[in-house]
Amino acid sequence: MESVVDQGWADVERTYQDEGPFEIMPIAYSIEYKEKMDILRTLMKNNEKSERALKLTEDIIALSPSNYVIWKYRQEIIKELNVDLKGELNLFVEYAEENPKCYQLWHHRQVIIEKLNDPLDELQFIHDMLQYDSKNYHAWTYREWIVRHFNLWDEEIKFSDTMIKDDDRNNSAWNYRFFILTEKPDNDIEAVLKDEIEYAKQKINFDPTNQSPWMYLKGIIEKSKYKLADFADELLPFCENLQKIEPYKYALEYQLYTNESILKTLNSEKEQEQQKDICRTICSKLEECDKIRKKYWKYVRESY
Amino acid sequence: MGVLDLPFSFDEISFNDGGIQTESSLVQMEVENDVKPLFQPYHVLEENRINYDHINLNRHAHIKFLRVGLKGLSSQAVGLDASQAWICYWILHALDLLGATLSKSEIERTINTISACQNPTGGFGGGPQQFSHVAPTYAAVNTLAIIGTEEAYNVVDREKLYEWFMSLKQPDGSFQMNEGGEIDVRGCYCVIATAKLLNILTPELTKDVAEFVASCQTYEGGIGGYPGNEAHGGYTFCGLATLEILNKTDYIDSEALMEWLTSCQMKLEGGFQGRINKLVDGCYSFWQGGSFPLLEAIYTRNQEQFDPCGFFDREALQEYILLCCQNQYGGLLDKPRKSPDFYHTCYCLSGLSLAQHYYNYDTIQNDFKENPELTTIVGKVSNLIRATHPVHNISMVKEKRITSYFSNSSIVNIGSNESISSSIEIITNKPKEEQV
């Protein structure tokens, strides 16, 4: 029977997979995969770093892209050979479409870019990848790495805005906005706080049922030197206005957090008790309109 | 509680897009439209409603589905070639929860395969002759724990494994997944949970791990994979379970975490989403559901008063798993229209177990105790499956057995000034019969 692997491997012994005397859950490997792996094991044993080894890893990646062993060996070969690193990036594109959530693919890309020490056009590339899946966790994680590693913070707030405009419920984009504003070296949250509150309010007005801007609003204020209570005069009426027609649970939640924050500023027992009453009333409303979290809201109410 | 008992039409608790359609809202509505007809026949407002005591866990079909996997996988499984230790764990844990007993041959073959995955460095690869990686190492050790025999336990070379774990440790406390590999909160959980079962947790190994995990808690309250990343159910469980093992749950803001976590249970589907504004997925029944016993333990230690049945809607979660995640020919799945696989079978059942059993944290023995009086079963009484351990996700019985086996074999540092690798010696003494 003719081998599926070409004659270039005649000199290489085969190292068969040793799964022990009697294995569980054997995989019925295709002849092609089995034979290529048998050769690869020998190459890895002999520590062969050659063009043909590089080519073989590519063949196997095509059959099993999440096999971390092959990726690691490939990275070792690349280290020794004078490989065109930019060409390596094309390999990623070839498999990323079908395996966008493969840890190995993304990590490989990071290793290559780190070696090139050049961010190239990676920000555009990630943007393109996010067109397929705008919430791809690996893509966002990789973008954060690129921005941190190469100090590319400047255009990123704009980018978060582009992504939020595409889908204002994309929580990954909101998290990214928070990341840029709070992790950027020498950031000054207080300086942008007013604008960010305005930004979140605008998105909430657009769709009060969207949890992401609500969380962002609370998060960004708490990250600054201010407390929620410091913005009560502006944000409590904002929540109440929204609810003139129907109750929005995230607006109620926000009212609760703000009132809780006010509670912490009060000194007299009488004032505290009145404030607790306000909090308890909001919790009761939440118990009504957020049924699935009834036990949680009851706990919060009883904790005052 | 539960969604089926709510006296509203499903439309009233459906997602409301406020007239604004985005990609997120469109896919959310699609899922709800798939779920509603599966719930409808059991709904309290339905005229000829089916009594929901009839809701059935298709136990035999699932056992069959899992057993077929143990016999062998088709050539299409080649993509899982580096996940063999994981598949062993997923299948064996699911079978264990379902109460299936492994045959002698299945046990022997599993030990053979897991042994073949072990490297001379002490770690385990995803398959035979694959270099070590912390994720399959966690899966391999959990698999051996599920088998639960002395022969299985003795496969592990604890001393070597410890040295290998130490070689992956980073200055910030975290761990690489393998030599030169990526770093995230999964690595912390896989290393710390495995080390806990094997009793090789040392101050050197645990140094700054809690600090790293805490730095991954986001403004949302949940935990991301790496500082700056979005809060995510999988990483949240990994981070919280790590802190629980290290007795350092006070490093994070547990109130904020509870707020986020409870908001991830879907109001119509009853299952959990992994991130805000994402879709329900059966596997988060465990990854998100599993954080509740851990958080409730914190609340118990802080002497907070809360509902005796905890913080999430346990009935609603069971409804989702039983009505939306079962394939009639066996196996469980992400959501309706998806195919079953071993991963989802394992984590849907693990989530079901957590929703059925209630765990009290025993502040005297510092351990989780099942409270049988609070067991909640949706559907047939026979749907009850075994209780899983909320930190390790192997059954309670198996966790007890392995920790008690290794409790007398500790790693001891001889002379604090010596280098780490030379200062470690494993002392094995006392036969295990002496333990109670």
pLDDT at A93: 82
Largest pairwise CA distance in chain B: 76
The three-state (H, E, C) secondary structure of chain A, written as one string: CCCCCCHHHCCCCCCCCCCCCCCCCCECCCHHHHHHHHHHHHHHHHCCCCHHHHHHHHHHHHHCCCCHHHHHHHHHHHHHCCCCHHHHHHHHHHHHCCCCCCHHHHHHHHHHHHHHCCCCCHHHHHHHHHHHCCCCHHHHHHHHHHHHHHCCCCCHHHHHHHHHHHCCCCHHHHHHHHHHHHHCCCCCHHHHHHHHHHHHHHHHHHCCCCHHHHHHHHHHHHHCCCCHHHHHHHHHHHHHHHCCCCCCHHHHHHHHHHHHHHHCCCCCHHHHHHHHHHHHHHHHHHHHHCHHHHHHHHHHHHCC
In this prediction, residues B276-284 reach a mean pLDDT of 98
Q: Across the interface, which of B72, B87, B116 has its CB nearest the CB of A20? A: B116
In this prediction, residues A269-295 reach a mean pLDDT of 97
Cβ of A298 and B307 within 8 Å?
yes
Query: Rounded to an integer, what distance in angstroms lies between the CA atom of residue B132 and that of residue A46?
Result: 18
Query: Rounded to an integer, what distance in angstroms lies between the CA atom of residue B144 and that of residue B165?
Result: 18
pLDDT tens digits along B298-356? 999 999 999 999 999 999 999 999 999 999 999 999 999 999 999 999 999 999 999 99
pLDDT at A98: 82
Residues near B36 by Cβ (< 8 Å), separated by ≥ 6?
B10, B14, B268
> What's the Cα-to-Cα distance from B117 to each of A20, A290, A295, B52, B146, rounded to whole Å?
9, 48, 45, 45, 17
pLDDT band (50, 70, 90) for residue A5: low
CA A158 to chain B, closest CA, distance in angstroms equals 18
- In the predicted structure, residue A72 carries a pLDDT above the cut 90: yes
Mean pLDDT of chain A: 94
pLDDT at A7: 66
pLDDT at A2: 53
What letter represents residue A266's amino acid? Answer: L
Range of weakest confidence among A5-19, A132-146, A289-303, B364-378: A5-19
pLDDT at B410: 66
Is residue B313 assigned to a domain?
Answer: yes
Portion of chain B with pLDDT greater than 70, in percent: 94
Question: Would you call B301 a catalytic residue per the annotation?
Answer: no
pLDDT at A99: 86
Is residue B331 assigned to a domain?
Answer: yes
Is residue B397 assigned to a domain?
Answer: yes
- In the predicted structure, residue B419 carries a pLDDT above the cut 60: no
Cβ of B219 and A178 within 8 Å?
yes
- In chain A, residues with a C-beta closer than 8 Å to the C-beta of B128 are 17-20
Range of weakest confidence among B70-74, B164-168, B292-296, B395-399: B70-74
pLDDT at A82: 86
Is residue B246 assigned to a domain?
Answer: yes
Of B133, B158, B275, B389, the catalytic one is B275
pLDDT at B357: 98
Q: Across the interface, which of A18, A170, A220 has its CB nearest the CB of B24? A: A170
Domain ranges of chain A: 1-83, 231-304
Q: Across the interface, which of B23, B87, B307 has its CB nearest the CB of A25? A: B87
Query: Rounded to an integer, what distance in angstroms lies between the CA atom of residue B33 and that of residue B14?
Result: 9
pLDDT at B90: 98
- In the predicted structure, residue A61 carries a pLDDT above the cut 60: yes
- In the predicted structure, residue B416 carries a pLDDT above the cut 50: no
pLDDT at A247: 85
- In the predicted structure, residue B421 carries a pLDDT above the cut 50: no
pLDDT higher at B74 or A4: B74
Is residue B16 assigned to a domain?
Answer: yes
pLDDT at A3: 64
pLDDT tens digits along A211-252? 999 999 999 999 999 999 999 999 999 999 999 888 899 999
User: Count of domains in chain B?
Assistant: 1
pLDDT at B431: 38
Is residue B346 assigned to a domain?
Answer: yes
**What CATH number corresponds to the domain at position B87?**
1.50.10.20
Nearest CA in chain A to B263: A293
pLDDT tens digits along B231-256? 999 999 999 999 999 999 999 999 99
Between A and B, how many CB-CB pairs are < 8 A? 221
Cβ of A23 and B218 within 8 Å?
no
Is residue B10 assigned to a domain?
Answer: yes
Most B CBs within 10 Å, among A14, A24, A134, A296, to test the B interface: A24
Domain extent, residue B374, equals: 3-71+79-408
Dihedral class, residue B148 (left if φ above 0, else alpha if ψ from -120 to 50, else beta)? left
Is residue B434 assigned to a domain?
Answer: no
Complex-level ipTM: 0.95
H/E stretch holding B361 reads strand B359-362
pLDDT at A10: 86
Q: Across the interface, which of A22, A33, A169 has its CB nearest the CB of B22? A: A169
pLDDT tens digits along B185-198? 999 999 999 999 99
pLDDT at B411: 62
Question: Would you call B281 a catalytic residue per the annotation?
Answer: yes
Question: Would you call B348 a catalytic residue per the annotation?
Answer: no
